[in-house]
Amino acid sequence: MSRVLYLDLFSGASGDMLLGALVDAGLSADDLRADLGRLDLAGYELQVERVVRRGISGVQVTVQSTAEDYPARHLPDVQRLIGQSGLSARARATALAVFERLARVEARIHGVAVDQVHFHEIGAVDSLVDIVGFVAGLERLEVEGVFVSGVPTGSGTVETAHGTLPLPAPATLALLAEVSAPLCPHPAQAELVTPTAAALLAELAVFAMPPMTIQAVGYGFGQKEFPWANVVRAWLGQAQEPLGAGRDQVVQIECNLDDERGETLGYVMEQLLAAGALDVWFTPAQMKKNRPGVVLAALAHAPQVDALVQLILRETTTLGLRMTPLERVVAGRQVRQVETPWGAVRVKEKLLGGEVVAASPEYEDCARLAREHKVPLQQVVQAAREAAHG
């Protein structure tokens, strides 16, 4: 059976809380330091301390600065740092995927090119330690699937390099929206989920509880003090069914349209996906009075349903909608990097029962290499597929 990790976000999550939970669940602190030592990264000291708070024993991981100043880092700097490290190919590809997801979101928020994103807090040493340490820790613990609870949001404001911003921070909210993460209201007037944690969860986790046999529990404490235990709880165990059978609850929204222009349908699809729909599709249909039409369908998690319903009612001519609750099976996934004659390409692999059953090269990587080397896109895609199956 496959080993899985379930993260209970009782009080949100930060990168150091996730690391602490892994250590308390069984990750050796010495192994963590050894993996981080494979990065050419200086200017910090990693502290791993057992603490007892609110009657709970757990681990607090702290990244202490030992330098007065740090170099400004952009995405290419982070890519070189991780790409040239001594980490395994899988750990490098996964850590890069987390940072690249974060960079795409930051670029969209700030209206700049991805390579021009200045990571500020996100690119600081502690975030590099948190992301690389967590990814390497999963590999050490032989975790094949990561699952996570709903995400408590918190509210209020936070001070950043860009000034005072609302909570959840724009990057955090955008990252969670990309994967339609289920959000849970929380009374805390504080930042409960950091962008670093949101990027890790968005890239690596399925937002559902898997059927599992629990073997270890780890508690990772954060730096902030609340009237409750500020802790992430990690459940480590064996899946009770093959990975790829992770389940969650979704809602299918449908309506029939027989008098809508094609341009409007395309616009509505774009708006629904941007508002958090998991998928949107059109099905040709024969309507009353023998008029040709389409069935508009969208799939979403429950927290997004009301907003999507209002969008469809506002933007289309329909007078009503049908909603059907469904159970969804989500395949396991992992990202790794393969080499082609023109450069490296990330490949997303589908897992069933811990085995790779399909591989899909990342389009953006293939398109970039095709443009740079003036070769057909399909040639790069085919080379990446062959490297993935080789």
Domains defined for the chain, CATH in brackets = 3-241 (no CATH), 258-324 (3.30.70.1380), 332-389 (3.10.20.300)
The pair of three-digit structure tokens given for residue 215, joined into one six-digit string: 């073997």
Residues facing residue 237 across a β-bridge: 4, 214
**pLDDT of 244 strictly over 60:** no
pLDDT digits (tens, 9 = 90+) for 302-334: 878 889 999 999 999 999 999 998 888 777 777
Averaged pLDDT score across all residues of the chain = 88
In angstroms, rounded to a whole number, what is the distance separating the alpha carbons of residues 345 and 339? Answer: 6
**pLDDT of 113 strictly over 90:** no
Residues facing residue 298 across a β-bridge: 253, 280
pLDDT digits (tens, 9 = 90+) for 278-295: 899 999 998 888 889 999
DSSP string, 221-288: E-SS--SS--EEEEEEEEESS-TT-EEEEEEEEEEEESS--HHHHHHHHHHHHHTT-SEEEEEEEE-G
- Looking at residue 165, its pLDDT comes to 81
Residues facing residue 334 across a β-bridge: 349
CA 37 to each of CA 32, 130, 138: distance values in angstroms, whole numbers, following the listed order: 9, 13, 16
Crossing angle of helices 15-25/125-140, nearest 10°? 30
- Looking at residue 122, its pLDDT comes to 46
Helix (H, G, I), strand (E, B) or coil at 43: coil
The pLDDT > 70 percentage for the chain reads 94
- Chain centroid offset of residue 205 CA: 6
**pLDDT of 353 strictly over 80:** no
- Looking at residue 241, its pLDDT comes to 67
Helix (H, G, I), strand (E, B) or coil at 199: helix
**pLDDT of 20 strictly over 90:** yes
Q: Which helix (H) or strand (E) holds 389?
A: helix 377-389
pLDDT digits (tens, 9 = 90+) for 121-156: 444 788 899 999 999 999 999 998 899 999 998 888
